[in-house]
Structure 1
């Protein structure tokens, strides 16, 4: 019986997160209420407060759930090894494939990039995102430097600028794909763009 109760509680939590993603995506974070999320999930507001202390905590729970399921947490990304220039491409294409094949992941990216209003209560979330970008760019800089020392990147390349350019390419591709509502394959077109950039570093 205890296991069933725990399983039911976990299912309720998943139902709440599913409803939150759909409503945040459709209406935006600010215009979505906990009452609407509860109604959509078929639960009471009390059930939401059992799992999340407030709407911000629910938003963070949604972020953590999706990042864990797609291995895109900062902790995961910082552990990805890069020994060849092609490893950059493979790692980026893994992200792009997730976006094309996982509707939840795509909706979350649309929410973050296009639909979330980063009001005062969401500033900690935005600050975490900035920290994540900074640490990933530093990792890319370090990886480019190692490849340069190994003779796999031209000696006249500025590795800090290389990392910044790669970040701009990724974010620009993501924004274009999301804005155009997936009318082209980000794996194909984005992959070709990354290939062109990486080949220019040799």
Structure 2
């Protein structure tokens, strides 16, 4: 019985997160209410509070369902030689991440992050978003610093500038993709962009 109760609780939590994705996408984070989310899930507000303290807690849990720490993406490649090839680690890690992105759930959540996050009275979703961005930027910078130390980064290109170039290029790609996801495949177009950027950064 306990096992069934645990499974039911997990199913309830997932239903609430699914509903949060839908309501946040439709109304924006600031205008979405917990009542609307619980009703969309077909549950009571009490059930929502059993799993989440507030809207901020729910928003963070929604992001964590699709969160892909860059270092974990690189680790999943299971290639020890990437430690000596940091530019290839960035290239392959980004390509793996874009394959994950090309799914309906990831598309919805990233659409919320880019287009539906407004300052809320309950919490600041942009602050939460920035935490995830900074995590990725630190990972990029670490790899580009290692490439610089190994003499693999082109002359005149600092690790900091390489990180900025990657960040703004990928951000623009995400923006265009989310504007009309049917226009192109981010995993295919993204692979070309990432490969081109790495080739431009690599020392000849």
Deviations 1:39-58 (A, max 9, x none): 22121111111111222221
Partner of 2:90: 88
Partner of 1:51: 51
8 Å CA contact retained: 1:21, 1:107: yes
8 Å CA contact retained: 2:153, 2:201: yes
Deviation, 1:120, is 4.5
Deviation, 1:104, is 1.0
Deviations 1:52-79 (A, max 9, x none): 1222221122122332xxxx14774697
8 Å CA contact retained: 1:148, 1:155: no
Q: Using the alignment, how far apart are the partners of 1:134 and 1:37 within structure 2?
A: 29
Deviations 1:7-54 (A, max 9, x none): 111111111111111111122222222222222212111111111122
Q: Using the alignment, how far apart are the partners of 1:201 and 1:166 within structure 2?
A: 10
Q: 1:73 to 1:86 in 2, by over 3 A?
A: closer
Q: Using the alignment, how far apart are the partners of 1:25 and 1:41 within structure 2?
A: 15
Partner of 1:8: 8
8 Å CA contact retained: 2:70, 2:93: no
Partner of 1:181: 181
Partner of 2:27: 27
Specify every segment of 5 or more residues in structure 1 that has no aligned partner in the other structure, as ranges.
none
8 Å CA contact retained: 1:25, 1:111: yes
Q: 1:184 to 1:142 in 2, by over 3 A?
A: same
Q: Using the alignment, how far apart are the partners of 1:35 and 1:132 within structure 2?
A: 27
- Is residue 18 of structure 2 the alignment partner of residue 18 of structure 1? yes
8 Å CA contact retained: 1:177, 1:186: yes
Specify every segment of 5 or more residues in structure 2 that has no aligned partner in the other structure, as ranges.
77-81
Number of equivalences = 196
1:160-199 mapped onto 2 (5 Å cutoff)? 160-199=160-199
8 Å CA contact retained: 1:23, 1:37: yes
Question: What is the RMSD of the two structures over their aligned residues, measured on CA atoms?
Answer: 2.3
Q: Using the alignment, how far apart are the partners of 2:71 and 2:151 within structure 1?
A: 29
Q: Using the alignment, how far apart are the partners of 1:39 and 1:155 within structure 2?
A: 58
Partner of 1:118: 119
